[in-house]
């Protein structure tokens, strides 16, 4: 193990070598740095002002993230949120040649995590606490004030089940990250069909978006971020609703592959193989459809996976496992939420399954899987 003294000595020796051998052009040095892991880049910020400026440059960070995605598979984060000082430690789980699951502890009063991650950032929230955007790789975080709906629920003691779900994504044109609340209004005594709130970085305040969605949403689903937009399923799962994070406009992009599901919590949206997907788990069969947009304005759903759950063990039982990723085109990675807290690998076209991880839920914790967490952003 390298001590802090050893780390300083390593940097001093590196500086001496650089003073003699630093003859490479700046663009070549940047290409080399882009291929380094995040923790190495954070250490190398101390080498020189030039390197520090390079590593902190947003365009460099974007290139580093792209390079990392292309060079290996995604990492996955099993995140435990706690409000005490107990630290949870667990060895990483290697899924295949390059994919790894990390289990980390993050101290926060928040109890929920937005589905997925965006450029390595995760968004934590709670109906009465606030919103926190964090980078688990660097431990950087930023807090945001309470949204109007959080103020309302806290001040009046309003309890709605399911509680409003937060979405988090990035405006592709200006690079701004935006937390977004979209919720059905009738549960809060409001007249409009839905209410939408977006956090404005410029004013450091939440603001309403008008008009909001003309359709009520499936309140049990977490919104998912994909390619500059957030997506929801509308109530009764009849439509797929998108919210462009740049124009801040809602649009129904297509019909969903399923409709009139008895249990709205059995349906969810996810991103698999870089495509928007819809999953249904009726306790007997797990079905996943992928949205094919190759036809331009014509969008079609293709069945991606169908798994017979009656031949599985009890971990496919009471609480539906959520699709996380398809690995090596042959394996489906599934993760549990609050009531299951486990990680399962299913081999496609077989009845072979493996429980990779099962967590004993500590008091005050919430676990979920996030992908691509080891980016350098912020």
DSSP per-residue codes, 90-115: ---EE-SSS-EEEEEEEE-S--EE-S
Q: What is the pLDDT of residue 365?
A: 38
Q: Which residues contact 20 (CB under 8 A, 6 or more apart)?
A: none
Q: SS3 for 250?
A: strand
Q: Calculate mean pLDDT across residues 234-263.
A: 90
Same domain for 97 and 51: no
Q: Calculate mean pLDDT across residues 166-181.
A: 93
Same domain for 356 and 253: yes
Same domain for 116 and 37: no
Which has the higher per-residue pLDDT, 281 or 5?
Answer: 281
DSSP per-residue codes, 328-357: TTTEEEEE--TTT-EEEEEETTSS-EEEEE
Same domain for 332 and 212: yes
Same domain for 207 and 79: yes
For 33, 202, 308, the CA distances from 286, given in Å and listed in that order, are 42, 43, 7
Residue 356 sits at the vertex; the CA angle it makes with 351 and 362, to the nearest 5 degrees, is 130
Mean pLDDT rounded to a whole number for the chain: 77
Residue 11 lies in a domain: no
Q: Quote the CA–CA distance of 357 and 161 in Å, as a whole number.
A: 29
Give the tens place of pLDDT for each residue, 184-195: 988 777 778 999
Q: Calculate mean pLDDT across residues 68-81.
A: 69
Residue 309 lies in a domain: yes
Measured distance between the N- and C-terminal CA atoms of the chain, rounded to whole angstroms: 27
- For 339, the domain range is 72-367
Look up residue 258 and give its two tokens: 């399923």
For 17, 52, 252, 257, the CA distances from 237, given in Å and listed in that order, are 61, 48, 12, 8
Q: Calculate mean pLDDT across residues 217-232.
A: 94
Look up residue 378 and give its two tokens: 């912020």
% of the chain surpassing 90 pLDDT: 24
Sheet with 367-371, edge to edge strand ranges: 93-94, 100-107, 76-82, 367-371
Q: What is the pLDDT of residue 329?
A: 77
Same domain for 45 and 137: no
Q: What is the pLDDT of residue 327?
A: 79
Q: Calculate mean pLDDT across residues 197-224.
A: 92
Which has the higher per-residue pLDDT, 226 or 318?
Answer: 226
Give the tens place of pLDDT for each residue, 301-344: 999 888 887 765 545 554 556 888 887 778 888 876 555 566 77
Q: Calculate mean pLDDT across residues 33-45.
A: 83
Same domain for 173 and 56: no
Q: What is the pLDDT of residue 101?
A: 61
Residue 348 lies in a domain: yes
Give the tens place of pLDDT for each residue, 10-32: 565 555 555 545 567 888 888 88
Q: Calculate mean pLDDT across residues 35-52.
A: 85
Q: What is the pLDDT of residue 231?
A: 97
Residue 1 lies in a domain: no
pTM score, whole prediction: 0.81
Same domain for 103 and 40: no
Give the tens place of pLDDT for each residue, 89-132: 444 555 555 555 666 666 666 778 888 888 878 888 887 778 88
Q: Is the pLDDT of residue 268 over 60?
A: yes
Q: Calculate mean pLDDT across residues 73-98.
A: 56
Domain containing 219 — which CATH number? 2.120.10.30
How many structural domains comprise the chain? 2
Residue 18 lies in a domain: no
Torsion of CA 23, 25, 27, 29, to 10 degrees: 0
Same domain for 106 and 35: no
**Using 50, 70 and 90 to split pLDDT, how confident is the model at 198?**
very high
Residue 210 lies in a domain: yes
Same domain for 261 and 129: yes
Q: What is the pLDDT of residue 193?
A: 92
DSSP per-residue codes, 200-219: ETTTTEEEE-SS--SS-B-T
């Amino acid at each position: 193990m390298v001590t802090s003294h050893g780390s300083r000595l390593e940097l001093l020796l590196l500086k001496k070598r650089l003073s003699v051998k630093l003859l490479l052009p700046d663009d070549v040095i940047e290409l080399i740095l882009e291929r380094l892991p995040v923790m190495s880049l954070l250490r190398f910020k101390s080498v020189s002002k030039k390197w520090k400026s390079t590593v902190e440059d947003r365009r460099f960070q974007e290139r580093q993230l792209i390079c990392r995605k292309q060079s290996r598979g995604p990492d996955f984060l099993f995140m435990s949120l706690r409000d005490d000082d107990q630290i949870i430690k667990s060895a990483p789980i290697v899924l295949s040649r390059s994919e790894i699951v990390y289990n980390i502890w993050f101290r926060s009063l928040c109890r929920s995590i937005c589905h997925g991650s965006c450029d390595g950032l995760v968004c934590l929230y709670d109906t009465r606490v606030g919103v926190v955007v964090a980078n688990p790789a660097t431990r950087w975080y930023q807090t945001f004030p309470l949204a109007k709906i959080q103020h309302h629920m806290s001040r009046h003691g309003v309890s709605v089940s399911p509680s409003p779900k937060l979405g988090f994504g990035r405006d592709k044109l200006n690079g701004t990250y935006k937390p977004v609340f979209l919720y059905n209004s009738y549960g809060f005594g409001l007249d409009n069909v839905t209410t939408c709130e977006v956090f404005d970085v410029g004013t450091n305040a939440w603001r309403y978006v008008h008009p909001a969605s003309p359709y009520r949403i499936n309140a049990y689903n977490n919104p998912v971020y994909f390619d500059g937009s957030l997506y929801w399923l509308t109530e009764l799962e009849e439509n797929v609703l998108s919210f462009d994070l740049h124009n801040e406009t809602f649009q129904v992009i297509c019909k969903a592959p399923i409709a009139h599901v008895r249990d709205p919590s059995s349906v969810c949206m996810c991103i698999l193989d870089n495509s928007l997907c819809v999953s249904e788990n009726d306790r007997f069969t797990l079905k996943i459809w992928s949205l094919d947009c190759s036809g331009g304005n014509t969008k079609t759903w293709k069945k991606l996976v169908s798994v017979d759950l009656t031949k599985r063990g009890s971990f496919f039982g009471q609480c539906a496992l959520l699709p996380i990723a398809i690995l090596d085109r042959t394996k489906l990675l599934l993760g549990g939420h609050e009531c299951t807290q486990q990680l399962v690998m299913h081999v496609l076209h077989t009845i072979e399954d493996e429980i990779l991880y099962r967590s004993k839920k500590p008091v005050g914790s919430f676990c979920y899987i996030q992908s691509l967490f080891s980016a350098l952003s912020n």
